[in-house]
Structure 1
């Protein structure tokens, strides 16, 4: 737990100015509340003593004490506001950085997509587990720093007058301050159980909704609902266990703060005139401590949730990269001829080989058609060429340079892939296109749209490039969505284009029109066209058929 939480704090280093400022604001706010009760206690103790001189040097009776009291009363709400403002701003900034870091780690470890990973669980890690980390700062570190400053200040104030009530006051409060750490191991186990149950519930909900048509067609909604109910019950049980532990911690913390109050009150009653001032001051300070330490019982549960969230985040983020970048990358190649020599590849040791000694050459400017039924490795070949996976044997070169020695980002600037199920995101047309070239001006976007023969349609839309595509591109027909995806691919500066079943899901006439557009739009680039069959409009310079893990020349 400690290592995970320290690592989280390390990832927040770039926000340390905000985080430290928030801690300082929390301490200042807590000490302002303490000062308010110190001054009130000073005035009351002086009054009870019948006009004796002030106990504290800074606050005597009469006008001076009242002026100090008024100043602190006015300052305290300002300090509370600054604390909320700064601590929440620090938290929002730190969590935003955390989400970006986690997304980048996932992107490097899941380049070919989620695959067999549970999408709902990963979504939970990206959202809920990251959000649980706000408790580490807002409900653990800030209250702990404020409470510690209050306990130390109280012990110093009362100890300056009489060490006995200072000890009676400080010891139970120090125990209350350390209580969350004592209860943390058991709470962390319960927090991890809650986090696992939340991930299972999200997966149980997301999976049938993702394939809702299939779920309904198979009359599977009752089974899906039963599974959701079972996972929900498991989550409720885990949450009850964590809440029960938090309640015990809260009760113990309240008992300790009440013990400090009762001890101070008993001392004040038994001390007589000589110890009356110190006793009354201890009573007032114990009241202030109850407010400051009142947040600490929740700190145990927050610490548990943050530790569980951190562990789940690092579990996913620290998975090995399938194809890590080389420690000493080679110089980028001058050309873009592709060559595969003796490539052997299987997705897992216990799965059959996809390629066994595959040889393939794509000279600069060539248009190679790869044919074959599903399962022959056409999409796998594309994944290898973009370093989404690495061959177990053999060599792949681009411009004579082994792609294993190139950073993935450099390779993907030179090789672009129009995937079989190319997705349009729920954003504007312009934003979807700029995935391939973030800094592209509108003129380049229109040029790519025109080359994909979809520019006139976009111009006819009232909002033009700012038209929302809808989730998965539902705003457009299948053929229109494929042309928009093609425009995105054409916007890339890549010299090599891999077009994976580019007309999948289109009717025969739309397929022929789209493939004819491809032939015209990709002129001047090397093209690997992955297809089940040829329609006669593709005009490849070479036709190969994938079979038995090899590429065999074919007539068509």
Structure 2
């Protein structure tokens, strides 16, 4: 499973293959420069000892050290620059991919997945994938090149010393794949504990007012402390496995040094020269392989994080896209035919046999108490859910046969909890129409009856709305959200409890604005009751899963 997940991650990074390969190649060259530096130093020393004087070979070897002294740090700098640039690009692609997968699978909101948990997957779990490249693949490729180079160079001194020194180094290359499976479980526990800690920290902050009002902050703090202690314990277990790997790597590197010394003491062919060169090369290889044993823990951590990402990203979407989409309809009349829908098989159906018609330009008021299915209908029309029976027709075409993007381009929605993001007013409005110019923004603000409020602001359209629109009052925030909905080039506008959260005076003023602002569009007004200023062309009440004509 871990290998499959990591292979899939590499597939996501295919677009950055040039950067990734370049980083690996530069890392190999930088490592080989260090090997060459010590190999030449060893050769110079061995020749000097053998002849008792600085011969031409010894002097030549030592002179070659001078450029390598500058080449090595330069190549190390270039290695860090390229490998980290490659990693940052690959991780950015992964975040975008994950966000898009979540958008497809959670169109109705986070739902049962906690905000802290998803935040952890999007940030921390994606960041943990850098270990796959920076702490496993790149060091592994560089270490392999070093072992091959050491074996080849020592082969000139003698096959015996080449085998004795290169064998323990080659065994060190096997440590990451050998240690990774055992560390995978510990890494999975760390990843889950990190997610639990983020949930314990983020969820109370999102509902801080309720936490404080219920005097629940001590319980939230205790839960946070417990999650932190659990994370620390799981991290200790993973660290112990990494430490064992590091110890095994050090032992193998020391074995290469002792092998070179043993060869010299045994007095084999070219013993003195081979031993000195072997010692220098073993030191060079030991430096290159120093971080390799911990690559097993890095692989395990990356695998655990990849599993958490794919668990969320592979959740089946609530509404499957049609394999052969129908052509977009010319008209936009809406019709419901025998719609039956339940949110789950073990729950009571919201609709049993829903039927209604909304002609082009019509204004339908859909009334009912909480739980009657008003917001559920909005979800069905936006393809955030799909009916189990019946059809919803747009311009005579079943929306099940249309792509979700095409449906949402024709149907816009002002939800009862429409959110303003902590960005400028212009950026919030352009969510509905990214290419809209400032003139179009002002026109939408005028129609929503909030342009005068924005004009007097010192920064105008560049004014930041604050988290959740905190910069504005409830009524002003609703009007800004309305302007965003009006900016969308949709033929049908769903207004889901548009006056929710407003005082009676502000609600009435807002509904009066809606009457003129939505002129020329088909409108579905979802509400508990009417105030008398809405002027719908038809009124239906949701009763027992059906739409009944309102009486009186």
Q: Check if 1:40 corresponds to 2:36.
A: no
**Could you report, residue by residue, the CA deviation over 1:495-517 in whole angstroms, capped at 9, with x for unpaired residues?**
00000011111111111110011
> Of 475, 499, 502, which residue of structure 2 is paired with 1:503?
499
**Could you report, residue by residue, the CA deviation over 1:105-129 in whole angstroms, capped at 9, with x for unpaired residues?**
0110001001111221111111111
- Identify the residue that residue 253 of structure 1 maps to in structure 2: 249
Return the offset for 1:67: 3.0
- Identify the residue that residue 446 of structure 1 maps to in structure 2: 442
Cα RMSD between the aligned structures? 1.3
- Identify the residue that residue 84 of structure 2 maps to in structure 1: 88
- Identify the residue that residue 6 of structure 1 maps to in structure 2: 7
CA distance in 2, matches of 1:43, 1:292: 22
- Identify the residue that residue 159 of structure 2 maps to in structure 1: 163
Q: Which moved more, 1:18-27 or 1:216-225?
A: 216-225
- Identify the residue that residue 397 of structure 1 maps to in structure 2: 393
> Of 53, 58, 61, which residue of structure 2 is paired with 1:61?
58
CA distance in 2, matches of 1:551, 1:65: 92
CA distance in 1, matches of 2:257, 2:173: 15
CA distance in 1, matches of 2:303, 2:270: 50
Q: Check if 1:328 corresponds to 2:324.
A: yes
Q: Check if 1:24 corresponds to 2:25.
A: yes
- Identify the residue that residue 509 of structure 2 maps to in structure 1: 513
- Identify the residue that residue 130 of structure 1 maps to in structure 2: 126
**Secondary structure of residue in 1 paired with 2:361:** coil
Residue pairs, 1:124-523, within 5 angstroms: 124-271=120-267, 274-523=270-519
**Secondary structure of residue in 1 paired with 2:331:** coil
Q: Is the 8 A contact 2:48 2:54 kept in 1?
A: no
**Could you report, residue by residue, the CA deviation over 1:394-440 in whole angstroms, capped at 9, with x for unpaired residues?**
00110001100100011100000111100000101011001001111
CA distance in 2, matches of 1:30, 1:313: 33
Return the offset for 1:276: 1.5
CA distance in 2, matches of 1:480, 1:10: 47
CA distance in 2, matches of 1:274, 1:180: 35
Give the ranges of 4+ consecutive aligned residues of structure 1 lying more than 4 Å apart after TM superposition.
51-54
Q: Is the 8 A contact 2:158 2:269 kept in 1?
A: no
**Secondary structure of residue in 1 paired with 2:94:** helix
Q: Is the 8 A contact 1:415 1:496 kept in 2?
A: yes
CA distance in 2, matches of 1:392, 1:74: 71
Q: Structure 1 274/206 Cα, relative in aligned 2: closer, same or farther at 3 Å?
A: closer
CA distance in 1, matches of 2:54, 2:16: 48
CA distance in 1, matches of 2:227, 2:347: 32
CA distance in 2, matches of 1:125, 1:272: 58
CA distance in 1, matches of 2:130, 2:9: 11
What TM-score, normalized by structure 2, do the two folds share? Answer: 0.98
**Secondary structure of residue in 2 paired with 1:268:** helix
Return the offset for 1:52: 8.1
Return the offset for 1:527: 0.3
What TM-score, normalized by structure 1, do the two folds share? Answer: 0.97
CA distance in 2, matches of 1:392, 1:544: 22
Return the offset for 1:205: 1.7
**Could you report, residue by residue, the CA deviation over 1:318-350 in whole angstroms, capped at 9, with x for unpaired residues?**
111110211110000000001110000000011
Return the offset for 1:175: 1.0
**Could you report, residue by residue, the CA deviation over 1:422-460 in whole angstroms, capped at 9, with x for unpaired residues?**
000010101100100111111111111111011111111
Return the offset for 1:77: 1.0
Q: Is the 8 A contact 2:45 2:58 kept in 1?
A: no
Q: Which moved more, 1:524-533 or 1:115-124?
A: 115-124
**Secondary structure of residue in 2 paired with 1:223:** helix
- Structure 1 unaligned blocks of 5 or more: none
CA distance in 2, matches of 1:281, 1:249: 27
CA distance in 1, matches of 2:120, 2:57: 57
**Could you report, residue by residue, the CA deviation over 1:230-257 in whole angstroms, capped at 9, with x for unpaired residues?**
1111111111100011011101110110
- Structure 2 unaligned blocks of 5 or more: none
Return the offset for 1:191: 0.2
Q: Is the 8 A contact 2:23 2:82 kept in 1?
A: yes
**Secondary structure of residue in 1 paired with 2:344:** coil
Q: Is the 8 A contact 1:271 1:279 kept in 2?
A: no
CA distance in 2, matches of 1:291, 1:324: 53
